[in-house]
Amino acid sequence: MSETAGFVGLGQMGQAMARNLLKAGFRLRVYNRTAERAEPLARLGAARAAQPGETVPPGGIVFTMLTNDQAVGDVAQGEHGLLNALGEGGVHVSMSTIAPDTARWLARRHEERGQHYVAAPVFGKPDAAAAAKLWIATSGPADAKERARPFLEAMGQGIYDFGDDPGAAHVVKLTGNFLFGAAIEAMAEAYTLAQKNGISRQKVHDLFTDTLFACPAYKGYGRLIAAQRYEPVGAPPSLIRKDFRLVRELADRSETPMPLADLIHQRLTATVAKGRDDRDWAGFAQEASDDAGL
Amino acid sequence: MSETAGFVGLGQMGQAMARNLLKAGFRLRVYNRTAERAEPLARLGAARAAQPGETVPPGGIVFTMLTNDQAVGDVAQGEHGLLNALGEGGVHVSMSTIAPDTARWLARRHEERGQHYVAAPVFGKPDAAAAAKLWIATSGPADAKERARPFLEAMGQGIYDFGDDPGAAHVVKLTGNFLFGAAIEAMAEAYTLAQKNGISRQKVHDLFTDTLFACPAYKGYGRLIAAQRYEPVGAPPSLIRKDFRLVRELADRSETPMPLADLIHQRLTATVAKGRDDRDWAGFAQEASDDAGL
Amino acid sequence: MSETAGFVGLGQMGQAMARNLLKAGFRLRVYNRTAERAEPLARLGAARAAQPGETVPPGGIVFTMLTNDQAVGDVAQGEHGLLNALGEGGVHVSMSTIAPDTARWLARRHEERGQHYVAAPVFGKPDAAAAAKLWIATSGPADAKERARPFLEAMGQGIYDFGDDPGAAHVVKLTGNFLFGAAIEAMAEAYTLAQKNGISRQKVHDLFTDTLFACPAYKGYGRLIAAQRYEPVGAPPSLIRKDFRLVRELADRSETPMPLADLIHQRLTATVAKGRDDRDWAGFAQEASDDAGL
Amino acid sequence: MSETAGFVGLGQMGQAMARNLLKAGFRLRVYNRTAERAEPLARLGAARAAQPGETVPPGGIVFTMLTNDQAVGDVAQGEHGLLNALGEGGVHVSMSTIAPDTARWLARRHEERGQHYVAAPVFGKPDAAAAAKLWIATSGPADAKERARPFLEAMGQGIYDFGDDPGAAHVVKLTGNFLFGAAIEAMAEAYTLAQKNGISRQKVHDLFTDTLFACPAYKGYGRLIAAQRYEPVGAPPSLIRKDFRLVRELADRSETPMPLADLIHQRLTATVAKGRDDRDWAGFAQEASDDAGL
C-alpha cells in the first residue's frame, strides 16, 4: 500500500489537487492555515494535521501549494515546519508559484538536512486542477522527482522536466504566466480596436480562436475578454500581480529587458489601484477599453 | 462551364492562390507587373494579360493580391485599370492587406460604376496558401460575396464574414497581423528570459506549444524563435512593418491607444534600421536578444 | 518705408504674432478663413484681404501660421492661393507645425515658380507669442531667410538656423514638441508617485523647478501638472495629438524607434478618447493619475 | 568650538562632501570600508576610525553616504555599527539613495534606542558635490534636522524639507533620479531623430538648452548625449539601475503605474547587459541610437 503523503495549502487550487490524490488512492494528511478548508478533504478520508510539520513523517513526502514566497517560507521554517519534520531522505514537492531564488535557497536548506526539494509548479486554472488536467513543470534531484512522479501524474495530464536546478521549473512557471498575460493584453488591444471600428468583439474572437489561435490560452481567457465579463475568478489581479513582480525581479537579475512584461505589470497595477480586484485577472483587459474611452 | 476570372498580383502568395484556382478547375487570365512571374501559371493553363484591365471582361470577376495600398490603387485606376475594365456588374475581390479607408474609398469608386468591391484578405503563410489552407475574412455586398465564394473556397479552408462595410474585413486582417506580432514579441521575451536563466529555448517552446499555446500561430512562429533561425521567409520585416503602420493609423483614427502595437512597430523598425530585412519578420524577436546582451 | 507683408492665419498664435509685426511698424495685409478674426488687427491698421493670395503682391513676402498640413496646402494652392499670387521672387515664410515632407513638397512648388519657401516654425505658448518672446527655428534659402529676418525678430527673442533644407526647421519643431511631451509625461509620473506616497505634488514641483529643472518647459507645464488644473489652454490635446502623429510619421520614415514618443501619443489619444479636449494638452498628465486610481 | 562629527562612506560623492565639511571648519572622524580612501581626508585633518561605530561618540552626529540599502544596513547594525555607537540622543544623517522603507525601518531601530534618523539625500554629480553645490532634500524629526542643518549647509546650496516621515526625502530623491532618467531618454530619442534626418545633434541641443530647457539637468546630461561621449563618469549605469529598481519597487508598492520609469529601467538593463558599464549612466542614450541602426 502506498505511503501517506502530506499536503499543505488548501486554497482553490490545492483543494482540487489534493482531492485528485485521494481519488487516485493516495492517503493524505493535510494542513491549511484556515483549518475549516480541510473539512471537505477530511470527509473524503484525509487525515488532518495541526501543523505543517505534522503532515509528514521523517523520510516522507509532502506537497505544498501556497500563495507566495512568504507562505512557503513560513511552512518550511519554524519549530513545526517542514524542515524540522522531514528528517533524512524526506522530499518537499513545491508546487507554488515562487521566485526561483527562493526555491534555490530553500533547496539548500533541505539539502543541509539530507532532504530533497522538487520544484513542480503547475499550469492551469482551478477547473483544470479539478479535472486533473494540469500541466506540470519539474526540476530538482532525479531520485526525488521519480518518487514524486506517481503523485504528479494523479494531478496533471503531462509533466515536463527541466533538469537539476531547483529554480528552473519556477523560471518556466513565471515564463508561462508572462505568456498568458501577453495573450490577454494582445486580445484586449485587438478586440478593442475591432469594437472601435464597428466590429463585434465576439466575431473577431471566434475567427481567431477557431483558427490560428485555437489553443486553451486564447480560448479560455479570450472568451472573458470578448464578453467583457471576467468571471469565474480563476485568480484575482492582485495575486497575479505578485507573479509579475517575480517575473520583473527575475528579468532584472538576469539582465533581460522585458517591455511587454512591464506593460502587463502596469495594467495589473492600474487594475488593482482602481479597486477592480473582484474579477479574474484577465480583467486587466479593461484597461485597454478605458484608455479608448469606452 | 465556369467563367474566366482575372487574377492580378503573382507574388509568393498570389502565385500559390492562383495555382489553387486553376487546380480547382477555374479558368484564369493573370497579370503581374513583372511579367515572367506569370509563366508558371501559363504552363498550367492560365491566359496572360498585358494590363490589369485585360484580365477581366465587363461584368466579370477579378482577384487582386498585391503588396500595399499604392499597388492596389495603381491596378484599379488608370486607362487600363480595373475600374475602367469591370463594366457594370463586375466584382473586384480584394485580398491584399490594405488600409480599411483605402478599401472604402475604392469601394465607392466601384459603386459609382455599378461595380462591387469585396474585401477578402487572407491569413496564412505561403505554405498555407500553397496548401489551400488559408483562412479568409470577408466583407462587402452580399450578392458579390456569394459570387466570390466558390473561388474563395478553392483557396482557403474557411471563410469568416464581417458584414457589409468594405473596410471591415481589412480591419480584421490588420487585427490578426497585430495578434501575430504580439505572439512573436511574447515568445521573444519569454525564450530570452529562459535562456538567460540557463534553460533551453527549445524545451520551453515545446512545453508551451504542446499544451496551452498549441496553435498554429505559436507553433509556426515559435519554432523560428526557439531556433533563432528566421527561415524560410514568409514575409520580410519591411513588408509587415507596412502593415503595422496601417494598424497604427487605424488605431489613431479610431482613438484606440495600443501600446503593444507600438512596441511591435518599434521592434520592426529597429530590425529594418539594423539592416536585417533578409529574414522572416519573426526575426524581430532578435531585438529582445540584442537588448539582453546576447 | 518697409514693404507691406501678408499674414495668413489669425488663430490664437497668429493673432498675437501679427500684432507684434504691426507694433514693430510693419504694414500688413491679413487673411483668415473666419473673417471676423481679422477685425482686431484691422483696428490696429492692418488691411484685410478676401483671399490668401490677395495678402501679397507678386514678389512680396507672406507669413502663414495655420493649424495643419491641410490648411497650409489649401492657402498655397488654388486660384487665389499663394503659389499663384507670389509671382517671381516672392517669399513664403511658413511658421506652422507641419510635416517636413509637406514643407519640402511645397518648397519645390514655390521653386518651380521662382519663389522661395522659408521654414520658420516657432516655440512658445500664446503668452510668449503675445510678448514677442517666441523662439524661432529657420531653414531654407539664405537670401530669403535674410529677407524674413527683420519680421522674425519682431515676433521672437531668438532665431536658430538649420541650413538649406526646407524640411529641417520643421523636423526641429517636431523634435521640440516631443521634448515638451516627454517633460509632461515625466512630471505626471513623478508627481503622481509623490502624491501616492503622501508627499505634496506642489512641494516636489517647487524643489525640482527651482533647481535642476529650472527652465521654462518644466516651470510652465509643471505648474499645471502640480495643481492638476490645465488652464489656460495653450493648445488642446487634439491639436498636439496631430503633432505627435507627425512625429511618429517622421520617426517611421527615418527608421527611428521612439518608445517615449509612442507613449505620449497613447496618452494624448486616451485623453481625446475620454472626451477631455477642453483643457491644455498638458492635461494628458491626468492619464497617469487615472492609472494610479486617483 | 563645534563638535566632531562622523562621516561614513568616502566614495566619489562622500569624499567631496566630507572635504567641504572640513573646509567649513567642522572636525570629522571618517570611515570607509576600503581604508586608503580615507587618506586624502586625513591629510586635511580628519581623524580615521577603524569601524563605523568609532566615528561617533554617544549622543553625537554621523553622516552616511553609501552605495545602497545593504551598505547602509551593514554600517548601522553589528557590534561596531552606528546603532550601538550612537547612544541616546545621537543623530544619523542618512544621505544615500535608499528605499524609503529601508529608511523607515532604520528610523524605527534608532528611535528604539532614543536616537534620531534624518533623511538627507542629495542631488548633484560629483562636481556639484566638490563645489558644495548639492541640493538636499530632508525629512525626519525637526530637532534632529535643526542639528544637522549647519553641516548640510556646508555641503549644499539649498535644502528642501519634506516633513516628519523619514521615508519622504528618499521618495523625493528617487523621484528626482527618475526625472533625470526621463530627460536622458527624451534627449536620446530627440537627438537621434534629428541625426537620422540630417540635422546636427549639437545644434538641436544648443537650441533647446539655450531656451526652453535651459536648466542644469538638460545642459549637463544633454552635453554628453549630443556629443555621444559619456565621460566623465558621474555614476555608472549599474549604480543607477539600482536606483531605478528602487523606483519600480516604490511604484509597485504604492500602486503607481510608471511606464516611463519602466522604459528607463529597460534601457539601463540593456546597457549593463551589453557590457557598457564603463561610462556615465547617461550612456543609456546609446540604446536609442542602437535601435535606429546607428
Query: CA Rg, chain D, in Å?
Result: 20
Which chains does A contact via 3+ CB–CB distances below 8 A? Answer: B, C, D
pTM exceeding the 0.80 threshold for the entire prediction = yes
Q: Which three cell numbers stand for residue C263?
A: 507613449
Which of A111, A132, A164 delimits the end of a domain? A164
Residue with cell 516636489: C204
Nearest to C171 among D199, D211, D213 (CB): D199
Which of D164, D198, D214 delimits the end of a domain? D164
d(Cα C102, Cα D149) in Å, to the nearest integer? Answer: 59
Whose CA is closest to A205, among A217, A191, A193, A216?
A: A191
Whose CA is closest to B272, among C42, D246, D59, D196?
A: D196
Residues making up chain B, counted from first to last: 294
Whose CA is closest to C41, among C56, C27, C53, C54?
A: C27
d(Cα D238, Cα D242) in Å, to the nearest integer? Answer: 7
Listing DSSP states for B11-45 in one string gives SHHHHHHHHHHHHTT-EEEEE-SSGGGGHHHHHTT
Q: Tell me how far the alpha carbon of residue A102 is from its chain's centroid.
A: 15
Whose CA is closest to A39, among A7, A12, A15?
A: A15
Return the active site residues of C: 173
Residue B2: the pLDDT is: 62
Among all residues of chain D, which has the CA nearest to that of A266?
D257
The pLDDT tens digits for C236-249 are: 999 999 999 999 99
Q: D3: pLDDT confidence band, cut at 50, 70 and 90?
A: confident
Angle value at C-alpha D202, between D201 and D208, nearest 5 degrees: 95
Q: What is the 3-state secondary structure (H, E, C) of A205-254?
A: HHHHHHCCCCCHHHHHHHHHHHHCCCCCCCCCHHHHHHHHHHHHHHHHHC
Among all residues of chain B, which has the CA nearest to that of C275?
B255
Amino acid at A225: I
Collect all residues with Cβ–Cβ distance below 8 Å to D60 and sequence separation of at least 6.
D3, D4, D5, D6, D86, D87, D90, D91
Which chains does C contact via 3+ CB–CB distances below 8 A? Answer: A, B, D
On chain D, the residues whose CB falls within 8 A of the CB of C178 are 186, 189-190, 193
Return the active site residues of D: 173
d(Cα C61, Cα B199) in Å, to the nearest integer? Answer: 69
**CATH number (domain holding residue B76):** 3.40.50.720
Q: Which three cell numbers stand for residue C4?
A: 507691406
Kindly state whether residues B51 and B142 are assigned to the same domain: yes
Tell me the shortest Cα–Cα distance from A60 to chain C, in angstroms.
Answer: 48
* Residues D54, D78 contacting (CB under 8 angstroms): no
Q: ω before B121 within 30° of 0 (cis)?
A: no
Q: Which of B133, B173, B196, B242 is catalytic?
A: B173
Residue with cell 531520485: A143
CB contact under 8 A, A260 and B255: no
What integer best gives the mean pLDDT of chain D? 96
On chain D, the residues whose CB falls within 8 A of the CB of A256 are 269, 273
Per-residue pLDDT of chain A (294 residues; tens, 9 = 90+): 467 899 999 999 999 999 999 999 999 999 999 999 999 999 999 999 999 999 999 999 999 999 999 999 999 998 999 999 999 999 999 999 999 999 999 999 999 999 999 999 999 989 999 999 999 999 999 999 999 999 999 999 999 999 999 999 999 999 999 999 999 999 999 999 999 999 999 999 999 999 999 999 999 999 999 999 999 998 999 999 999 999 999 999 999 999 999 999 999 999 999 999 999 999 999 999 999 999
With left for phi above 0 and alpha for psi between -120 and 50, is residue B110 left, alpha or beta?
A: alpha
Kindly state whether residues C57 and C142 are assigned to the same domain: yes
Nearest to B275 among D274, D275, D293 (CB): D293
**CATH number (domain holding residue D204):** 1.10.1040.10
Judge whether residue D18 has pLDDT over 50.
yes
Nearest to A273 among C259, C287, C292 (CB): C292
Nearest to A274 among C266, C269, C293 (CB): C293
d(Cα D162, Cα D191) in Å, to the nearest integer? Answer: 36
Give the up-direction half-sphere exposure of residue D5: CA atoms within 13 A in the CB hemisphere. Answer: 26
Collect all residues with Cβ–Cβ distance below 8 Å to D218 and sequence separation of at least 6.
C215, D183, D187, D208, D209
* Residues A38, A81 contacting (CB under 8 angstroms): no
Domain residues for D71?
Answer: 4-164
Nearest to B270 among D259, D274, D291 (CB): D291
Residue C2: the pLDDT is: 61
Kindly state whether residues B129 and B198 are assigned to the same domain: no
Nearest to D275 among B266, B274, B293 (CB): B293
Residues above pLDDT 70, as percent of chain B: 99
Q: What is the 3-state secondary structure (H, E, C) of D226-269?
A: HHCCCCCCCCCHHHHHHHHHHHHHHHHHCCCCCHHHHHHHHHHH
Kindly state whether residues D69 and D88 are assigned to the same domain: yes
Listing DSSP states for C43-105 in one string gives HTT-EE-SSGGGGS-TT-EEEE--SSHHHHHHHHSSTTSHHHHS-TT-EEEE-S---HHHHHH
CB contact under 8 A, A266 and D255: no
CB contact under 8 A, C189 and D178: yes
The pLDDT tens digits for D233-253 are: 989 999 999 999 999 999 999
Judge whether residue B16 has pLDDT over 70.
yes
Q: Report the domain count for chain B.
A: 2
Residue A279 DSSP class: S
Whose CA is closest to D141, among D172, D159, D168, D123?
A: D168
Low-confidence ranges of chain C (pLDDT < 50): 1
Residue A13 pairs in a beta bridge with: none
Q: How far is CA C281 from CA C267, C270, C271, D126, in A?
A: 10, 12, 9, 37
d(Cα D192, Cα D5) in Å, to the nearest integer? Answer: 48
User: In a mutagenesis test of the D interface, which of C127, C138, C207 is the best target, namely the one with the most D β-carbons within 10 Å?
Assistant: C207
Kindly state whether residues B175 and B152 are assigned to the same domain: no
Among all residues of chain C, which has the CA nearest to that of B245?
C252
Kindly state whether residues A110 and A236 are assigned to the same domain: no
Residues making up chain D, counted from first to last: 294
Q: D66: pLDDT confidence band, cut at 50, 70 and 90?
A: very high
Residue A2: the pLDDT is: 61
Judge whether residue D19 has pLDDT over 60.
yes
Kindly state whether residues C77 and C133 are assigned to the same domain: yes
Kindly state whether residues B149 and B248 are assigned to the same domain: no
d(Cα B153, Cα B157) in Å, to the nearest integer? Answer: 7
Q: How many CB pairs under 8 A join B and D?
A: 28
d(Cα C117, Cα C95) in Å, to the nearest integer? Answer: 11
Listing DSSP states for D120-132 in one string gives --EE--HHHHHTT
CB contact under 8 A, B193 and A258: yes
CB contact under 8 A, B196 and A254: yes
CB contact under 8 A, B269 and C263: no
Collect all residues with Cβ–Cβ distance below 8 Å to C56 and sequence separation of at least 6.
C5, C6, C29, C62, C82, C85, C86, C90
User: In a mutagenesis test of the B interface, which of C241, C266, C287 is the best target, namely the one with the most B β-carbons within 10 Å?
Assistant: C266
Kindly state whether residues B16 and B118 are assigned to the same domain: yes
d(Cα A263, Cα A188) in Å, to the nearest integer? Answer: 13
Residue-wise over B153-174: b if at least 16 C-beta within 10 A, else e? Answer: ebbbeebbbbbebbbbbbbbbb
* Residues A168, A100 contacting (CB under 8 angstroms): yes
Collect all residues with Cβ–Cβ distance below 8 Å to C276 and sequence separation of at least 6.
C237, C283, C286
Q: D2: pLDDT confidence band, cut at 50, 70 and 90?
A: low
Tell me the shortest Cα–Cα distance from A251 to chain B, in angstroms.
Answer: 7
Whose CA is closest to C20, among C104, C124, C107?
A: C124
Residue B3: the pLDDT is: 76
On chain B, the residues whose CB falls within 8 A of the CB of D277 are none
Residue A3: the pLDDT is: 76
Residue C31 pairs in a beta bridge with: C8
Q: Which three cell numbers stand for residue A59?
A: 523520510
Q: How many CB atoms lie within 10 A of CB A35?
A: 12
Residue A1: the pLDDT is: 46
B125 is catalytic: no
d(Cα A168, Cα A140) in Å, to the nearest integer? Answer: 8
The pLDDT tens digits for B26-54 are: 999 999 999 999 999 999 999 999 999 99
* Helix/strand number for chain D, H first, E second: 13, 9
Query: CA Rg, chain B, in Å?
Result: 20
Phi/psi for C182 (5° steps) reads -65, -40
Tell me the shortest Cα–Cα distance from B292 to chain D, in angstroms.
Answer: 5
Q: How far is CA A33 from CA A11, A28, A52, A173, D146, in A?
A: 10, 16, 9, 25, 49
With left for phi above 0 and alpha for psi between -120 and 50, is residue A262 left, alpha or beta?
A: alpha
d(Cα A72, Cα A99) in Å, to the nearest integer? Answer: 11
Q: Which three cell numbers stand for residue C82?
A: 499663394
Q: How far is CA A18 from CA A235, B197, D45, in A?
A: 18, 31, 71
d(Cα A117, Cα A109) in Å, to the nearest integer? Answer: 9
Tell me the shortest Cα–Cα distance from C90 to chain D, in angstroms.
Answer: 27
Residue D28 pairs in a beta bridge with: D5
Q: D156: pLDDT confidence band, cut at 50, 70 and 90?
A: very high
Tell me the shortest Cα–Cα distance from C118 to chain B, in angstroms.
Answer: 30
Q: D1: pLDDT confidence band, cut at 50, 70 and 90?
A: very low
Whose CA is closest to C4, among C60, C87, C49?
A: C60
Which chains does B contact via 3+ CB–CB distances below 8 A? Answer: A, C, D
On chain D, the residues whose CB falls within 8 A of the CB of B287 are 291
CB contact under 8 A, C292 and A270: yes
Q: How far is CA B294 from CA A256, B287, D271, D275, in A?
A: 10, 10, 12, 11
Which of B134, B163, B192 delimits the end of a domain? B163
Angle value at C-alpha B10, between B4 and B13, nearest 5 degrees: 110
Beta strand C91-94 pairing with B122-123: unpaired
Q: How many CB atoms lie within 10 A of CB A23?
A: 11
Q: Which of A173, A196, A242, A274 is catalytic?
A: A173
Among all residues of chain B, which has the CA nearest to that of D273?
B293
Kindly state whether residues C120 and C33 are assigned to the same domain: yes
Whose CA is closest to C176, among C210, C208, C221, C145?
A: C221
d(Cα C104, Cα C110) in Å, to the nearest integer? Answer: 10
On chain B, the residues whose CB falls within 8 A of the CB of C273 are 255-257
d(Cα C151, Cα C161) in Å, to the nearest integer? Answer: 15
Tell me the shortest Cα–Cα distance from C216 to chain D, in angstroms.
Answer: 5
Kindly state whether residues A183 and A282 are assigned to the same domain: yes
Kindly state whether residues A134 and A86 are assigned to the same domain: yes
Tell me the shortest Cα–Cα distance from C133 to chain B, in angstroms.
Answer: 34
